[in-house]
């Protein structure tokens, strides 16, 4: 067992302790999106109830949404390939005065909306400019070197509203570095998606990436564990684990139900994470080993 494997084993044990030691580890995305409540651009009324969650989780910078009818009325259009989001509302229908035996009732309705960032041709004067707080991004040299030296690295696309990896396109998407709360959390998110990328058929090759089985499946859960554990190993190598492990442990805790149903899952994921880590590290030999926090 080499030095890296020993450190990664220690990190795995530490993660197991962190995800079981407390019930209060609320994971949240480490980048900034809109701070205002999501609202309709025309009526300016904020959405309520479950709609807030549905719209906020889309990760747009702007909190303003429009129906297709409103977009057309403003002379705009939805960009090709963009998808709408349903919003729901209850409408109470009063009983008719001339029919005393009838009762009022609640009617559930829904319609679909698009964020203004999904549109083009909208009058600039009608769309408020939303200033998103940004910090000055300071590169983390050892982490930047790891990313730059990764063999056959996936394409990395910044300026996105969420962090993700597309196996079919072999593309990693992440928000701009300045939107993250720290440079350490930026690298943690980027390394998570690059870890997914190691599962591509042209790299290590993992079934969950080569043959996606859908959100919530056992293979999906295992793949998320592999990616987050690989990210933890890489953060340990770069000496920034202390700055990221709470978020990582909380993320892993989200899969605790799966872990309890299959106690070997974390060990198996750790083995796959080691292979992914080794792939990313293969061409980074000239970087000195950092002491894991």
Residue 228, pLDDT score = 83
Residue 288, pLDDT score = 41
Residue 34, pLDDT score = 56
Residue 290, pLDDT score = 37
CB atoms under 10 Å from CB of 73, counted, come to 11
CA-based nearest residue to 255, from 276, 224, 230:
224
Please state whether the predicted TM-score (pTM) of the whole model is above 0.95: no
- Residue range 205-243, pLDDT digits in tens: 998 898 876 554 667 778 888 898 888 888 888 888 766
Residue 14, pLDDT score = 56
Q: Which residue ranges make up each domain of the chain?
A: 3-31+133-281, 39-126
In whole angstroms, give the CA distance from residue 90 to residue 33: 28
Residue 198, pLDDT score = 95
Residues lower than pLDDT 50 in the chain: 22-28, 216, 286-293
In whole angstroms, give the CA distance from residue 280 to residue 270: 15
In whole angstroms, give the CA distance from residue 60 to residue 150: 30
CA-based nearest residue to 161, from 140, 132, 122, 192:
132
Residue 160, pLDDT score = 84
């Amino acid at each position: 067992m080499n030095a890296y494997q020993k450190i990664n084993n220690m990190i795995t044990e530490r993660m197991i302790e962190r995800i079981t030691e407390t019930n209060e580890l609320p994971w949240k995305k480490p980048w900034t999106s809109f701070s205002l409540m999501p609202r309709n651009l025309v009526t300016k009324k904020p959405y309520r109830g479950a709609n807030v969650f549905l719209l906020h989780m889309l990760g747009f910078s702007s909190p303003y949404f429009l129906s297709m009818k409103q977009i057309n009325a403003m002379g705009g259009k939805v960009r090709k390939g963009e998808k709408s989001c349903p919003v729901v509302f209850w409408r109470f229908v009063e009983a008719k005065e001339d029919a005393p035996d009838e009762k009022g009732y609640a009617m559930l309705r829904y319609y679909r909306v698009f964020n203004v960032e999904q549109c083009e041709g909208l009058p600039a004067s009608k769309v408020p400019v939303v200033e998103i707080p940004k910090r000055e991004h300071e590169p983390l040299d050892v982490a930047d070197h790891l990313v730059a030296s990764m063999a056959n690295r996936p394409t990395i696309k910044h300026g996105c509203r969420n962090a993700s990896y597309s196996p079919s396109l072999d593309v990693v998407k992440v928000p701009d570095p300045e939107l993250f709360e720290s440079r350490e959390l930026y690298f943690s998110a980027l390394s998570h998606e690059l870890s997914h990328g190691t599962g591509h058929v042209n790299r290590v090759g993992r079934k969950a990436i080569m043959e996606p089985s859908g959100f919530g499946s056992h293979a999906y859960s295992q793949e998320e564990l592999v990616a987050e554990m690989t990210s933890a190993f890489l953060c340990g190598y770069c000496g920034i684990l202390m700055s990221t492990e709470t978020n990582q442990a909380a993320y892993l805790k989200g899969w605790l139900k799966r872990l309890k149903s299959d106690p070997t899952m974390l060990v198996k994921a750790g083995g796959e994470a080691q292979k992914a880590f080794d792939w990313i590290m293969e061409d980074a030999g000239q970087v000195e080993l950092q002491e894991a926090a």
